[in-house]
Structure 1
Amino acid sequence: MANRASTMTLAALGGAAIGFVVGWQLPNATPAAPAIDDAVADSSAPPSLELGERQRGEITSTSELNGKDGSRFQRFTLPLEEGALVEIELSGPLQGTLALYDADQQLLASSASPAYYDAPSAASLRRRIDESGDYTLVVSGHDLHSYGPYTLASRQMELTTSDALEMPSRADGWLQGSGDTYTLTIEETGLFQIEMRSSDLDAYLVLEGPNGYRREDDDSAGNLDARIADFLEPGEYRLTARSSYGQDSGLYTLELAPHELANGETLRNSGELTFDEPLHGWFSGETLSYEFTLDAPAAVTIDMLSSDFDSFLELSGNNVSYSDDDGGEGLNARLYASLDAGSYRVTARGHGGHGSGLFELRANGIALDELPSNGQLEVDRPVRAMLEPGARDYYELVVESAGDYRLDLHSDDFDAYLELEGQGLSLRDDDGAGGLNARISTHLDEGTYRAIARAYGNSESGSYTLHLSSE
């Protein structure tokens, strides 16, 4: 197994070092480090650089020439020991890059990254050394116009190794290619959480255990960090920490701890969903279902909130079907629908079936005849109003002559979302009027309808214009 880290101490040997970088800039191409053979070599042997030594230098017009792009560079011989995790930083006026080669002139690490190449910050690289020996460190100008003084600083990062993890515990590790594997022993059944965080790579966790147990996660901890939260039975588990694409390198941290239930609430993963009585449940990959019944038509709002995974809601029954991913704040789901009397089913799960963890489910309803009215909407008499964050504005339409009508919702402040209901009709639109404006064009029979003006996002607000016209 690869070395593991349960604690991490940094031995600063010659100055601060930060970041993670690689390479050389080729004209009109992705940054890449040139082979040493592409240079017009100086006849003198490269000077030696000791790990922890602070070295000053300067790239000038007399420095060695990179035959590919005309940049200038300097080489150093750097003795390194097997197993050492080294970090080297280039700072100073020189806009430059670093590259580390082994004794066979194979590129191991460099400081040019296509995603971050335009950043003017200091260049640095990290590498775990697989074999003791003399390595070549190359300092190069960013391009053929890059000259100036620079400073090299280096340090060794010493990681305490361990393949076994406890609950709770913290482990700091280094990925280089394939994933790291740990053993984890759970003594008592409980609700636990494991997080993998890294600023260097896209974290990915795999947890395997007794009776065929297996869970995977990519981004449930936010950004590119991973989280597995679940009930675990007693036994020995295998935890694999890796990158999403399997080949990235970098530092990461594992944190293992019991997961606290919200306010000590009892978890409920099925049954009746009662309005105005929030419930807590636990999602672990299996779709969960709840039911409710309406005795009279109502405008219903259902929220699914979780800080553990990306929630997803579905509503079905009585010839209607709705779904939502991120209609609430952040990755929370929110469904809103005007429903007739009848029985309905709410399905709660993670987006794409992924993730696991604690969630809260809330539902409330307002009888349709009790909905607050923002007034009556008449043909060719636009309404201008202000939408509050998270609000829905309701307008009554009385159609006296059947025909084709167009309803427009325009706003420069938020992404407009429009709904039209009544006489058996239920229509919705997001961007039908172009840009972020909404439009519903349809045939309306005589009767009373309700128009709902709102923002696509739950937190958006601002001024808007609602216009009904006859086509």
Structure 2
Amino acid sequence: MANRASTVTLAALGGAAVGLVAGWQLPDLVPTTTPIIEEAAAETAASPALTVGERQRGEITSTSELNGKDGSRFQRFTLSLEEGALIEIELDGPLQGTLSLYDGEENLLASSADPAYYDPSAAASLRRRIDQSGDYMLVVSGYDKHSYGPFTVTSREMELTTSDTLEMPSHADGWLQGDGDTFDVTIDESGLYQIEMRSSDVDAYLVLEGPNGYRREDDDSAGNLDARIADFLEPGDYRLTARAAYDHDGGLYTLELAPHAQADGAALRNSGELTFDEPLQGWFSGEALSYEFTLESPAAVTIDMLSSDFDAYLELQGDNVFVSDDDGGDELNARLYSPLEAGSYRLTARSHAGNGSGLFELRASSIPLDELPSNGQLEVDSPVRARLDPGARDYYEVVVEEAGRYRLDLLSDEFDAYLELDGNGQYLRDDDGAGGLNSRISSHLEPGSYRATARAYGSSESGNYTLQLYRE
């Protein structure tokens, strides 16, 4: 069951809570004191009645009651309010003023005052949940001793959500009190969904819990102090908690539950087969995602993971193969390139540090190894000097006739060099092993044929380079 305040109605008219309470309402603001409130009970019967749902007009003039603390003028109204009602009252008109609500014991319950956020161009408003039926007093006061003019006090009633269960999609209005409100939400079909909590009264905070230990929390993802959880959800029963982030103050809030707008209307896939030349979209929410593919014959495979929401990271595993990449693509996108033998492989897609969430796209392509373009053969002690075009990869055949330890260097003053060496069960990679932005691979090689790949670390870099092979 939801832990919710037993509220049914809200007397409301929207508006930001602004203004400065008159001195007698907040004694610590002004040193002078005048016992105005003590006279309130005797004069309440003569105050105009304010009925929820109706407008009441008035005017602050030089003959209105005087606040002896700051010289401002004020007017009182009486309201009859029911237990459990949520009331919001708005002050409008030329008067630059504030609103304050008192109970029958002259206790201040709510006010539009906040000196730090006062905005004379905005309407003053207050909100309060009524704990006990009875007569209450509303005070309309000028902002200071120079504030005069006509005003309108307006109110209306609106229904609040009382159900403990929310459907997908749905809209709910609620009032926070205590530890927050909890709702049951059922997801019928797997997909990407979004839940937003917005409030001008409290710092919104959402918690979503579901099957198989699922749990997500969010504070400010919807901007300002509003919360948003956007995630790929599997079918099942979930529990949604809407609460304040740091305190237990009460306040009005709204919840919006709906399917997420997906890029290009494509279906999301967070697992399964990765098909070459068929891009797929998925949703990362903190847990690594796995995909599989099979090569019938040796091929050079390129896989890109693109996302504008998080720092993409890829890992590829197979027989005697483990390669990974962080930023091999543009910006924070990942790109894996590797010549692979025939067999089955598993691709892991995640963020660089496991942080963040959001949409991503996977693109995979392959070229049979015997169809790869070649820049010729690289021989021992015979350096090759060439120019790398933007986004290009230059391939060289390396034939090792005698087993031994060899060193392969890729040197350039014009781009960040990245070097790869594949063949005979070797899958070697290096970025800056030769110092500076130069690359070096040093390893024991058995006799056989290898492929050296010279490229830049970033896909847009280009320039002259030297590729050289030595036996150590």
TM-score scaled to structure 1, two decimals?
A: 0.59
* CA 249–3 in structure 1, closer or farther in 2 if over 3 Å, else same: closer
How many angstroms apart in 1 are the aligned matches of 2:282 and 2:333?
21
* CA 372–180 in structure 1, closer or farther in 2 if over 3 Å, else same: closer
What are the equivalent positions in structure 2 for 1:17-96 lying under 5 Å apart?
17-21=13-17, 24=20, 33-34=26-27, 38-41=33-36, 43=39, 45-46=43-44, 47-51=47-51, 52-96=53-97
What are the equivalent positions in structure 2 for 1:122-137 lying under 5 Å apart?
122-137=123-138
Which AA in structure 1 matches 2:233?
Answer: F
Q: Is the 8 A contact 1:59 1:72 kept in 2?
A: yes
How many angstroms apart in 1 are the aligned matches of 2:145 and 2:270?
66
Q: Is the 8 A contact 2:175 2:252 kept in 1?
A: yes
The residue aligned with 1:437 is none
Which AA in structure 1 matches 2:20?
Answer: W
Cα shift at 1:219: 3.6
Q: Is 2:382 the partner of 1:370? A: no
Which AA in structure 1 matches 2:49?
Answer: L
The residue aligned with 1:166 is 167
Q: Say which SS state the counterpart of residue 45 (structure 1) adopts.
A: helix
Cα shift at 1:139: 1.5
* CA 211–336 in structure 1, closer or farther in 2 if over 3 Å, else same: closer
The residue aligned with 1:335 is 332
Cα shift at 1:320: 10
The residue aligned with 2:269 is 267
The residue aligned with 1:303 is 306
Deviations 1:376-413 (A, max 9, x none): xxxxxxxxxxxxxxxxxxxxxx98xxxxxxxxxxxxxx
Cα shift at 1:113: 4.0
Q: Say which SS state the counterpart of residue 335 (structure 1) adopts.
A: coil
Q: Say which SS state the counterpart of residue 155 (structure 2) adopts.
A: strand
Which AA in structure 1 matches 2:311?
Answer: F
Q: Is the 8 A contact 1:21 1:123 kept in 2?
A: yes
How many angstroms apart in 2 are the aligned matches of 1:350 and 1:136?
59
- Identity across aligned pairs (percent)? 53
The residue aligned with 1:348 is 350
Q: Say which SS state the counterpart of residue 160 (structure 2) adopts.
A: strand
How many angstroms apart in 2 are the aligned matches of 1:246 and 1:353?
26
How many angstroms apart in 2 are the aligned matches of 1:131 and 1:185?
36
Deviations 1:137-188 (A, max 9, x none): 12122223322222211222233522222344332222245311122345x4
How many angstroms apart in 1 are the aligned matches of 2:352 and 2:174?
29
Which AA in structure 2 matches 1:74?
Answer: Q
Which AA in structure 1 matches 2:307?
Answer: M
Q: Say which SS state the counterpart of residue 141 (structure 2) adopts.
A: strand
* CA 177–19 in structure 1, closer or farther in 2 if over 3 Å, else same: farther
Q: Is the 8 A contact 2:305 2:313 kept in 1?
A: no
Q: Is the 8 A contact 2:313 2:324 kept in 1?
A: no
How many angstroms apart in 2 are the aligned matches of 1:120 and 1:82?
33
* CA 444–359 in structure 1, closer or farther in 2 if over 3 Å, else same: closer
Which AA in structure 2 matches 1:252?
Answer: Y
Q: Say which SS state the counterpart of residue 82 (structure 1) adopts.
A: coil
Q: Is the 8 A contact 1:303 1:363 kept in 2?
A: no
How many angstroms apart in 1 are the aligned matches of 2:417 and 2:266?
43
Q: Say which SS state the counterpart of residue 388 (structure 2) adopts.
A: helix
* CA 85–371 in structure 1, closer or farther in 2 if over 3 Å, else same: same
Q: Is the 8 A contact 1:206 1:216 kept in 2?
A: yes
Which AA in structure 2 matches 1:101?
Answer: Y
Deviations 1:349-380 (A, max 9, x none): 4997355x64334699xx9823299xxxxxxx
The residue aligned with 1:234 is 236
What are the equivalent positions in structure 2 for 1:439-450 lying under 5 Å apart?
none
Cα shift at 1:254: 2.5
Cα shift at 1:267: 0.9
What are the equivalent positions in structure 2 for 1:423-438 lying under 5 Å apart?
none
Q: Say which SS state the counterpart of residue 106 (structure 2) adopts.
A: coil
How many angstroms apart in 2 are the aligned matches of 1:342 and 1:128?
68
Which AA in structure 2 matches 1:41?
Answer: I
Deviations 1:66-87 (A, max 9, x none): 4554433333232211121222
Q: Is the 8 A contact 1:183 1:238 kept in 2?
A: yes
Q: Say which SS state the counterpart of residue 78 (structure 2) adopts.
A: strand
How many angstroms apart in 2 are the aligned matches of 1:338 and 1:233?
32
* CA 48–323 in structure 1, closer or farther in 2 if over 3 Å, else same: farther
The residue aligned with 2:196 is 196
Root-mean-square deviation (CA, aligned residues, Å) is 5.1
Q: Is the 8 A contact 1:35 1:107 kept in 2?
A: no
What are the equivalent positions in structure 2 for 1:76-225 lying under 5 Å apart?
76-113=77-114, 116-118=117-119, 120-159=121-160, 161-186=162-187, 188=188, 190-191=190-191, 193-200=193-200, 201-223=202-224, 224-225=226-227
Q: Is the 8 A contact 1:269 1:282 kept in 2?
A: no
TM-score scaled to structure 2, two decimals?
A: 0.59
